[in-house]
Amino acid sequence: MRSPHFRSIGNVFIALKISRAMTVGAWCAAILLALAMAPPARAQVTTLFQEPPVPGFSNSYPWFNEVPQYQGDQSFQWFMANHPDIAGALARDPGLLYNANWRSQFPALEQYLANHPYEWQALNGEYWSEGPAETPWGDYDSAHNWRDAYWWHQNDPNWFYDHHQDWASLDSRWLAEDGAYDPQHDWHYGEWWYNQNPNWVTTNHPDWLTEHQNWEKPAEQQNYRQQHAMVQENQPQRNLQPPQATQPQNQHSRQNQQNQQRAIDQRQASLQQQKASREQPQATHQHDQRAAQQQAHQQQPAHEQQSQPPREKTPAKHEQKDARRQDGNGGKQAQ
């Protein structure tokens, strides 16, 4: 059994250790509190919080992007959501954003763009858009959530172009930026071209690879080929070349050409019908003119015959006068 003296000494050592631990903890807490209260450094960060919806605009409209901003600055989507008068005007005509005279009517907008140069640079560059603010085009994703065409173009461009290439009419620059035409004037998405000739894409469209670095991964290439059935069994592999070379037309192109040919034939038939309808009155008029001329030609001899008898009576009168004159001379001679 330990003596009370030694127990008291041990208690003192334990108390000292506890006190030291508490002191260290207090210092750590003070340091953390000071760091938390310090003002943040102005470093560029990308806002990740949920942006407020803008009435009249698709949430995936190209303007509403994750442009690097200074911490605490507001995104353009946030600005639009808090200025409904400006958002309403732009929803009716997005092109007004690029009209300096129109912007000058809204000092708050000009001040925001001046204070957010990265945002204004993006709105004039990569995220430029004058397309409709909203679109009824869209489809359900794998989770059965409705997504409009802007969302599909931003999140799954492969599906976008494979199933609804016509949706690209929402933005006049999408086809030029996302792909290229082959010699048959069939348009293909950039990943399609990369799977045909990666060197051509690397040389002519390095921006595609900068934006889609996953195209270079073998797993992605294999997955793409499987999904699009680019090399089918029991069929020879086509010699697919970049736009400088020729390519056989695919089934979709032939169908488009057939539809175009039918439209041309219908147009020509309509033009011929219109031409016939215009020519028919003209032919009738010409026929009536010829008939009138022929009738007038037939009536002319009869008129001439009616005007001739008076001229024939004139010699008879002269003969009668001559006869009377001869009779008078004969009487005189008899006397």
What are the boundaries of each domain within the chain? 7-36, 45-124, 172-232
Alpha-carbon distance 129 to 156, whole Å? 19
Alpha-carbon distance 56 to 58, whole Å? 7
Judge if pTM exceeds 0.75.
no
pLDDT tens figures, 12-58: 445 545 455 555 455 555 555 555 444 444 344 444 456 789 999 99
What residue type is 281 in one-letter code?
A: P
With both helix axes pointing from N to C terminus, report the angle between 309-334 and 251-307 in degrees, rounded to the nearest 10.
10
Place of tokens 């003296």: 5
Alpha-carbon distance 77 to 60, whole Å? 10
Beta bridge partners of 187: 181
Question: In this predicted structure, what is the pLDDT of residue 286?
Answer: 66
Name the token pair of 294: 């022929």
Question: In this predicted structure, what is the pLDDT of residue 104?
Answer: 96
pLDDT tens figures, 77-108: 999 999 999 999 999 999 999 999 999 999 99
Asked if 75 contacts 119 with a C-beta cutoff of 8 angstroms, the reply is: yes
Asked if 242 contacts 193 with a C-beta cutoff of 8 angstroms, the reply is: yes
